[in-house]
Amino acid sequence: MPFGPFYIVDTTLREGEQFVHAYFTTDDKVRIAMALDRFGVEYIELTNPATSPKSLEDVRTILRLGLRSKVVVHIRCHRDDALRAIESGAQGISVFLGVSPYLQRFSHGLDVEAVIDRAAEVLSLIRAEAPHVELRFSTEDTFRSRWADIFRVYLAIDRLGVVHRLGVADTVGVATPWQVYTTVRTLRRMTRADIEFHGHDDTGCAVANALAALRAGATHIDTTVLGIGERVGITPLGGFIARLYTLDRDLIRRKYNLAVLPELDRMVAEILGLEVPFNNYVTGLGAFAHKAGVHTKAVLHHPAVYEVLDPADFGLSRSIAVAHRLTGWHAIKLRADELGLGLTDEEIRQVTAQVKALADERPITIEDVDEALHRWVQERAPMPVASGGRTDGG
Ligand code: HCA
Ligand code: CU
């Protein structure tokens, strides 16, 4: 088994709300939460209910849906936020406060001892007021913090005995998989807590970092639909699922309802007023499109030659691009068969040569291919027929 038991904390409705283009109405949030629940994410994280009256109301609305996914709220390490989170009735509360030199100098201005005191106060308050709530504490910007500082904080919080898990956050998307592995592994050895990983994608490692965290013993991974979040966002749900699928396909198929992923990606893109990116994991335009003759030939024989994900598992199908100069006779034959034209292999080769010649002159479409095929059938010499037979066949 390449990784241990894990849970997805989808934070489209928190981190995702921090994406520059995001505005979620209550109805949007309900639709997204219901689809995430159908997909099977174990947690849905919502915006801090102290942000605005509407945010608090929306937490309650989502809780009333009675989803299987646990509903958690994400708050700053403040008494008032904590009280509002408890008041919301959320099943989990995720608190964050960092100790990086940047935050110490330019943001909250607290030194390590003051961070520990503040966290201890807020976390103990929550535990006292809401004994059953699932509690998490995360140090923001973990990877640009001094190793000694973050471990002082993590060990102090773990010793309090009030949190279920500790969060490791690559807030600015700068960590490498090796760093993530070492940090999570060390934390796992030194504390009793579960570990959550939250990774931004500024330098393209969010999916790899989530996998590194998992391999090091992380139990919870944060994702958002399409990866939306601050700046370029965080680990995308679809990319993370694709990553794990090739490592343990049966587990991923059992654990999640994969066919809901295309609907989720489309829904969130539509709510944002954007397209699903053309190169998106699993659901992008190109995800299961095969083009070059060498590829199409092999894929038509055995798709796994050029596919590591089976589109059918996601309720999708592959496509073979036929109309272009890289095309091959297998692709043209596929098209001729689709049109019900009985051409011999030699004829298909000749039509393929015509199609390629045309595609060298200008971009072509499937209509051009169809026309070349039909023209061939019309213009070829009539087949010799038995005497007394019809001669108008074509
Ligand atoms: C932020 C906070 C956060 C929190 C992550 C966490 C981050 O918006 O800056 O609670 O683990 O990236 O650090 O999203
Ligand atoms: Cu974040």
* Residues annotated as part of the active site: 295
pLDDT in tens, 145-201: 999 999 999 999 999 999 999 999 999 999 999 999 999 999 999 999 999 999 999
Judge if the beta carbon of residue 94 lies within 6 A of ligand 1: yes
Shortest-distance atom of ligand 1 to CA 230:
8
Domain span at residue 132 reads: 7-272
Contact 11, 49 (CB under 8 A): no
Length of the chain measured in residues: 394
* Residue in this structure with the two tokens 């199609």, named with its chain if needed: 355
Distance 234 CA to ligand 2 centre (A): 7
Which of 239, 272, 305 is the C-terminal boundary of a domain? Answer: 272
Amino acid at 31: R
Question: Across the chain, what does the average pLDDT equal?
Answer: 95
Judge if the beta carbon of residue 17 lies within 6 A of ligand 1: no
Instruction: Verify that 51 and 90 share a domain, yes or no.
Output: yes
Residue 135, SS3?
strand
Domain annotation covers residue 389 = no
Instruction: Verify that 49 and 101 share a domain, yes or no.
Output: yes
Angle at 356 between CA 353 and CA 358, to 5 degrees: 110
Report which of 220, 242, 269 is spatially closest to residue 31, judged by C-alpha positions. 269
Instruction: Verify that 87 and 225 share a domain, yes or no.
Output: yes
Alpha helix stretches (DSSP H) within the chain: 26-39, 53-64, 79-88, 101-106, 112-129, 147-160, 177-190, 206-215, 237-245, 249-255, 261-272, 293-301, 329-338, 345-361, 366-379
Query: DSSP states of 22-62 as a string?
Result: ----HHHHHHHHHHHHHHT-SEEEE--TTS-HHHHHHHHHH
Domain annotation covers residue 390 = no
Distance 29 CA to ligand 2 centre (A): 19
Amino acid at 254: R
Domain annotation covers residue 386 = no
Distance 133 CA to ligand 2 centre (A): 22
Instruction: Verify that 259 and 307 share a domain, yes or no.
Output: no
Express as a percent the part of the chain with pLDDT over 90. Answer: 92
Residue nearest ligand 1's atom 9 by CA: 171
Q: What residues flank ion ligand 2 with Cβ within 5 A?
A: 15
Instruction: Verify that 264 and 293 share a domain, yes or no.
Output: no
Note the pLDDT of residue 390.
45
Which of 272, 306, 338 is the C-terminal boundary of a domain? Answer: 272
Domain annotation covers residue 385 = no
Judge if the beta carbon of residue 15 lies within 6 A of ligand 1: yes
**CA separation for the pair 200, 27 (Å, rounded):** 27
Contacts of 141 (CB under 8 A, 6+ apart): 98, 100, 102, 103, 169, 171, 172
The pTM (predicted TM-score) of the whole model is 0.94
Instruction: Verify that 75 and 192 share a domain, yes or no.
Output: yes
Instruction: Verify that 48 and 187 share a domain, yes or no.
Output: yes
Q: What is the CATH number of the domain that holds 87?
A: 3.20.20.70
**CA separation for the pair 60, 54 (Å, rounded):** 10
Distance 98 CA to ligand 1 centre (A): 9
Q: Are strands 220-223 and 319-320 parallel, antiparallel or unpaired?
A: unpaired
Note the pLDDT of residue 3.
84
**At 94, which helix (H) or strand (E)?**
strand 92-96
pLDDT in tens, 286-320: 999 999 999 999 999 999 999 999 999 999 999 99
CA dist 81 → 24, 72, 159, 301 (Å): 21, 13, 23, 59
Domain annotation covers residue 192 = yes
**CA separation for the pair 52, 56 (Å, rounded):** 7
Instruction: Verify that 180 and 108 share a domain, yes or no.
Output: yes
Spans in the chain with pLDDT lower than 70: 1, 381-394
Best probe residue, ligand 1, of 99, 171, 235 (max atoms within 8 Å of C-beta): 171
Instruction: Verify that 267 and 299 share a domain, yes or no.
Output: no
**CA separation for the pair 319, 295 (Å, rounded):** 12
Instruction: Verify that 255 and 128 share a domain, yes or no.
Output: yes
Give burial (CB, 10 Å; 0-12/13-18/19+) of 184. buried
Best probe residue, ligand 1, of 96, 200, 201, 220 (max atoms within 8 Å of C-beta): 96
Instruction: Verify that 85 and 222 share a domain, yes or no.
Output: yes
Backbone angles phi, psi at 239, to 5 degrees: -65, -40
Shortest-distance atom of ligand 1 to CA 168:
11
Note the pLDDT of residue 1.
61
Report which of 114, 103, 44, 39 is spatially closest to residue 74, judged by C-alpha positions. 44
Judge if the beta carbon of residue 167 lies within 6 A of ligand 1: yes
Note the pLDDT of residue 393.
38
Instruction: Verify that 155 and 205 share a domain, yes or no.
Output: yes
Contacts of 371 (CB under 8 A, 6+ apart): none
Q: Is the dihedral of CA 329, 334, 339, 342 positive or negative?
A: positive
Note the pLDDT of residue 382.
67
Domain annotation covers residue 132 = yes
**CA separation for the pair 319, 102 (Å, rounded):** 49
Contact 25, 238 (CB under 8 A): no
Domain annotation covers residue 1 = no
Which of 272, 305, 326 is the C-terminal boundary of a domain? Answer: 272
Domain annotation covers residue 2 = no
**CA separation for the pair 228, 14 (Å, rounded):** 10
Report which of 12, 88, 16 is spatially closest to residue 54, judged by C-alpha positions. 88
Note the pLDDT of residue 388.
47
Judge if the beta carbon of residue 310 lies within 6 A of ligand 1: no
Query: What is the count of structural domains for the chain?
Result: 2
Q: What is the CATH number of the domain that holds 368?
A: 1.10.238
